């Protein structure tokens, strides 16, 4: 690093030429954190103080070459630091502030081709005066912020960086304090550019003239807020206090809307003297009360207009009028036809220039229509609340059906699917009980797959003819004394029932039955039934495809693909549990001659019969696979050499003694040759085991066929073949 040039007024001074070691030693002695990163944000150097004063968002441990960025899982902080480094590379002095510490970033040039970013920490002052000042700011009820302007190379103000905010600022914007500090104002609120707010703030910094204006911004959640902004200049920036006037704006808007409605009405304007003798009576008064001006002027108001107070009385209202000069309230006044109408009245005491009362003016508005609208609005709000409740309930139901769909998609067996369906239907239909029946392929019978609620009401099996819904292919609903119940429904079933046929590709797949004192909406029932039937049919299809992929179609045994995927698993289990594992290769003796003699159809019969013999003699844990042509492989877990020889010899004897017929003709006799190897310990590769078993099989065939050979009994020269 190149040291700074000394001041020009001391030409005799000379800065020492510092070596890299000396410079690092100086940085190591600094009491505040210093670190240097390259243009890829990878750590080049960090002094010891950095270990205790490093930014809390930087991951640990910290090593040379580590990218000094927060984890990408914290998107906000990751982008904040990345943008700050980028701005420092552009030559800007960047400040990043957390709760207790300010971090500075600036570009340093080592030589014409190397540029690094220097970072260092500076802690907030902790004097008693500063502490009190910050506490005062923090307790302000209105949002407070302190900003430093950002200038471009032409010294033009282009933005402002946030230095200090209080809790109220975090609350109104929706951002955490650490998300605001160090950020650019226009990055957070670009609308300040469009509405002239930032132009006013720029003028404030340049001229010193305070700013007071209203503007709008979008908080973190996209909600628009109206604010009244007060700002004053401070050093190379400004401070501002906001006042949230969103509620006032909304209230003003509501008042304006009401005023527009009330402007369509004609108010009664009545003037009297201090004794309440009418001196003026307009047409609005005539329309509201039914009395003409000639009938009212010169008479005391109370002679023909009776007033009933709701929250006060005449004496209290009069006292307030004479004390404050104004009274406002709602009353009921009698019309000429004897009916009482609700009135909103504003009564003002008229005074002369000397302040002496001279008369009274009342502006009365017939609020019958408003009362009517209030009642309508109340009813509309009640309907809206009911609609919201219903919408939330339906949304929750849809989410539960979607969850049922997702769970069924990952089920691997019908048993798993039955558990998922029982659990989910209990949640979707908590006030009902029911069951799900699934049809046996190729029959008219349906078996119980899942149930919820009252378990004793579900039949174990039924037929299609026992359900009207399955017969008609339509939903069949019944309630007490309404509709014909299906024969499969238990006599103790609740009042209302619904049978939903589950049809897949025009074929009856199953039946969903729901019963309760009341039934859920049809859309939910149909949606649930469709989800279940499609998921179960897909589950069966996946099982069929999986079986086709791993089962040999001729013999019904597992194929070579399944062997190659299963053998490593079995070998790993044998090694883990320290158990023996026997692999046997079997070949039908003279199979080609057999095919030439009896034909390929007879050969297929022989292969299928051999598969039957395998199933009869093998345990459930054993595995029989068709390896190819007339070759088979047996995997016998837990079987040692002696047991393997005994069992395999018995298998060979059974094959030789089996009477196999084709086209009403005995064929055979048939013999097989078997070579096997038993793994008992050590490390073996799968290919080695197969090759060893194949070598033993080759020795059995070369030795005359119809025999069982253990690879361990082969001479070394034959075992290596």
pLDDT at residue 674 tops 80: yes
- Calculate the CA dihedral of residues 207, 209, 212, 213 and round it to 10 degrees: -30
Residue 415: asked if its preceding bond is cis (omega within 30°), the reply is no
- CATH of residue 704: 3.30.70.270
pLDDT score recorded for residue 64:
84
pLDDT score recorded for residue 265:
46
Is 631 inside any structural domain?
A: yes
C-alpha separations of 411 from 26, 438, 471, 512 in Å: 65, 17, 30, 19
Residues 6+ apart with CB under 8 A from 477: 483, 496, 497, 498, 499, 519
Residues 6+ apart with CB under 8 A from 516: 429, 431, 432, 433, 494, 495, 496
More confident residue, 481 or 324: 324
Q: Residue 485, Cα to own-chain centre: how many angstroms? A: 44
pLDDT at residue 138 tops 90: no
Containing H/E element for 532? helix 522-550
pLDDT score recorded for residue 172:
92
Q: Are residues 461 and 572 in the same domain?
A: no
- What band does 4 get if pLDDT is binned at 50, 70 and 90? very low
Q: Are residues 419 and 441 in the same domain?
A: yes
Q: Answer whether 280's CB lies under 8 Å from 271's CB.
A: yes
Q: Are residues 516 and 608 in the same domain?
A: no
Q: Answer whether 297's CB lies under 8 Å from 280's CB.
A: yes
Residue 214, token pair as written in the block: 């209203």
Query: Which strands, in side-by-side order, build the sheet including 114-123?
Result: 43-46, 34-37, 114-123, 101-111, 94-97
Count how many residues are written for the chain. 721
Query: Tens digits of per-residue pLDDT, 91-101?
Result: 887 877 766 66
pLDDT score recorded for residue 100:
60
pLDDT score recorded for residue 614:
93
Average pLDDT over residues 597-611: 91
* Cα–Cα–Cα angle for 168, 171, 172, rounded to 5 degrees: 90
Q: Are residues 419 and 461 in the same domain?
A: yes
Collapsing DSSP to helix, strand or coil, 326 comes out as strand
Q: Are residues 494 and 410 in the same domain?
A: yes
- What band does 670 get if pLDDT is binned at 50, 70 and 90? very high
Q: How many domains does the chain have?
A: 5
* CA nearest neighbour of 179 among 262, 77, 259, 107: 77
pLDDT score recorded for residue 227:
93
Is 287 inside any structural domain?
A: yes
One DSSP character per residue, 163-200 reads EEE-HHHHHHH---HHHHTT-BHHHH-THHHHTTHHHH
- What band does 13 get if pLDDT is binned at 50, 70 and 90? very low
Can you say whether the dihedral through the CA atoms of 273, 279, 282, 287 is positive or negative?
A: positive
Is 194 inside any structural domain?
A: yes
More confident residue, 486 or 131: 486
pLDDT at residue 128 tops 70: no
pLDDT score recorded for residue 256:
64
Collapsing DSSP to helix, strand or coil, 506 comes out as coil
Q: Of all residues in the chain, what percent carry a pLDDT higher than 90? A: 32
Is 9 inside any structural domain?
A: no
pLDDT score recorded for residue 378:
87
Q: Are residues 416 and 494 in the same domain?
A: yes
Average pLDDT over residues 10-17: 43
- Where b means 16+ CB within 10 Å and e means fewer, 535-567 reads bbbebeeeeeeeeeebbbeebebbbeebbeeeb
pLDDT score recorded for residue 720:
54
Task: Point out the domain boundary residue: 190, 216, 249.
Answer: 249
Average pLDDT over residues 358-382: 87
Residue 507: domain span = 393-545
- What band does 68 get if pLDDT is binned at 50, 70 and 90? confident
Average pLDDT over residues 522-530: 87
pLDDT at residue 2 tops 70: no
Is 475 inside any structural domain?
A: yes
Task: Point out the domain boundary residue: 249, 284, 305.
Answer: 249
Is 4 inside any structural domain?
A: no
More confident residue, 332 or 123: 332
Is 14 inside any structural domain?
A: no
More confident residue, 66 or 651: 651
Mean pLDDT rounded to a whole number for the chain: 85
* CA nearest neighbour of 573 among 679, 694, 692: 679
Average pLDDT over residues 225-248: 88
Q: Are residues 360 and 303 in the same domain?
A: yes
pLDDT score recorded for residue 263:
41
- What single DSSP character describes residue 482? B
Query: Which strands, in side-by-side order, build the sheet including 278-281?
Result: 278-281, 268-272, 357-366, 340-351, 326-334, 307-309
Average pLDDT over residues 83-110: 79
pLDDT at residue 575 tops 70: yes
- What band does 283 get if pLDDT is binned at 50, 70 and 90? confident
pLDDT at residue 701 tops 90: yes
Is 3 inside any structural domain?
A: no
More confident residue, 148 or 73: 148
- CATH of residue 203: 3.30.450.20
Q: Is 481 left (phi over 0), alpha (psi -120 to 50) or beta?
A: left
* CA nearest neighbour of 577 among 529, 625, 621, 608: 621
Q: Are residues 560 and 699 in the same domain?
A: yes
Average pLDDT over residues 685-702: 91
Collapsing DSSP to helix, strand or coil, 464 comes out as helix
More confident residue, 131 or 335: 335
Containing H/E element for 435? strand 433-439
Q: Are residues 288 and 178 in the same domain?
A: no
Task: Point out the domain boundary residue: 94, 123, 152.
Answer: 123
Q: Are residues 515 and 592 in the same domain?
A: no
Query: Tens digits of per-residue pLDDT, 249-280?
Result: 888 788 567 535 434 446 888 999 999 999 98
Cα(615)–Cα(556) distance, integer angstroms: 10
Q: Are residues 280 and 225 in the same domain?
A: no
pLDDT score recorded for residue 277:
93
pLDDT score recorded for residue 82:
86
CB-count burial class (<10 Å; 0-12, 13-18, 19+) for 198: buried
Q: Are residues 145 and 80 in the same domain?
A: no
Residue 528: asked if its preceding bond is cis (omega within 30°), the reply is no
pLDDT score recorded for residue 538:
83
Cα(45)–Cα(49) distance, integer angstroms: 12
């Amino acid at each position: 690093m190149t040291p700074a040039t000394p001041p020009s007024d001391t030409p005799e001074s000379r800065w020492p030429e510092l070596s890299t070691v000396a410079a690092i030693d100086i940085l190591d002695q600094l009491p505040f954190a210093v670190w240097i990163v390259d243009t890829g944000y990878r750590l080049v150097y960090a002094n010891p103080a950095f270990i205790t004063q490093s930014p809390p968002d930087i991951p640990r441990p910290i090593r040379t070459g580590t990218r000094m960025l927060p984890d990408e899982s914290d998107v906000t902080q990751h982008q904040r630091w990345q943008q700050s480094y980028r701005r420092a590379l552009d030559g800007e002095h960047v400040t990043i502030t957390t709760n207790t510490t300010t971090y500075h970033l600036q570009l340093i040039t080592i030589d014409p081709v190397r540029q690094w970013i220097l970072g260092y920490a500076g802690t907030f002052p902790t004097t008693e005066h500063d502490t009190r000042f910050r506490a005062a700011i923090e307790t302000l009820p209105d949002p407070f912020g302190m900003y430093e302007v950002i200038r471009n190379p032409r010294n033009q103000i282009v933005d402002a960086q946030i230095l200090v905010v209080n809790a109220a600022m975090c609350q109104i914007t929706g951002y955490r304090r650490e998300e605001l500090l160090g950020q650019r104002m226009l990055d957070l609120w670009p609308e300040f550019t469009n509405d002239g707010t930032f132009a006013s703030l720029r003028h404030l910094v340049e001229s010193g003239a305070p700013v007071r204006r209203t503007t709008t911004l979008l908080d973190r959640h996209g909600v628009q807020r109206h604010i009244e902004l007060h700002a004053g200049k401070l050093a190379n920036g400004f401070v501002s206090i906001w006042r949230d006037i969103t509620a006032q704006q909304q209230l003003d808007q509501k008042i304006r809307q009401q005023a527009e409605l009330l402007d369509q009405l004609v108010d009664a304007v009545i003037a009297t003297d201090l004794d309440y003798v009418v001196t003026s009576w307009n047409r609005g008064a005539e329309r509201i009360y039914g009395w003409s001006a000639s009938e009212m002027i010169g008479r005391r108001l109370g002679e023909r207009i009776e007033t009933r107070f709701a929250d006060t009385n005449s004496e209290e209202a009069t006292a307030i009028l004479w004390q404050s000069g104004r009274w406002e309230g709602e009353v009921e006044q009698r019309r000429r036809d004897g009916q009482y109408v609700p009135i909103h009245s504003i009564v003002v005491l008229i005074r002369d220039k000397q302040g002496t009362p001279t008369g009274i003016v009342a502006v009365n508005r017939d609020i019958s229509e408003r009362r009517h609208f209030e009642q309508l609005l109340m009813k509309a709000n009640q309907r809206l609340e009911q609609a919201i409740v219903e919408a939330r309930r339906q949304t929750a139901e849809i989410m539960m059906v979607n969850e049922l769909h997702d769970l069924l998609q990952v089920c691997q067996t019908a048993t798993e699917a039955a558990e998922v369906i029982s659990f989910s239907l209990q949640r979707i239909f908590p006030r009902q009980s029911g069951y799900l029946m699934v049809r046996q392929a190729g029959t008219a019978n349906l078996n119980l797959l899942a149930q919820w609620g009252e378990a004793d009401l579900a039949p174990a099996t039924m037929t299609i003819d026992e359900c009207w819904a399955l017969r008609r292919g339509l939903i069949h609903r019944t309630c007490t004394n309404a509709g014909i119940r299906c024969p499969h429904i238990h006599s103790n079933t609740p009042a209302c029932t619904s049978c939903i046929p589950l049809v897949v590709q025009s074929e009856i797949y199953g039946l969903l039955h729901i019963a309760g004192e009341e039934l859920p909406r049809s859309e939910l029932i149909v949606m649930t039934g469709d989800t279940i039937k499609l998921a179960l049919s897909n589950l069966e299809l996946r099982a069929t495809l999986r079986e086709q992929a791993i089962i040999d179609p001729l013999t019904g045994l597992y194929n070579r693909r399944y062997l190659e995927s299963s053998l490593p698993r079995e070998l790993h289990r044998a090694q883990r549990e320290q158990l023996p594992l026997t692999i046997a290769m079997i070949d039908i003796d003279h199979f080609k001659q057999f095919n030439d003699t009896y034909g390929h159809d007879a050969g297929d019969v022989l292969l299928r019969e051999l598969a039957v013999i395998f199933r009869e003699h093998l345990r459930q844990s054993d595995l029989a696979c068709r390896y190819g042509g007339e070759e088979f492989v047996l995997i016998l877990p837990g079987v040692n050499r002696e047991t393997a020889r005994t069992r395999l010899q018995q298998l060979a004897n059974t094959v030789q003694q089996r009477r196999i017929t084709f086209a009403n003709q005995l064929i055979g006799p048939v013999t097989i040759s078997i070579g096997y190897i038993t793994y008992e310990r050590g490390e073996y590769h799968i290919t080695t085991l197969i090759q060893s078993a194949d070598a033993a099989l080759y020795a059995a065939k070369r030795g005359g066929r119809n025999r069982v050979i253990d690879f361990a009994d082969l001479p070394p020269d034959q075992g290596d073949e």
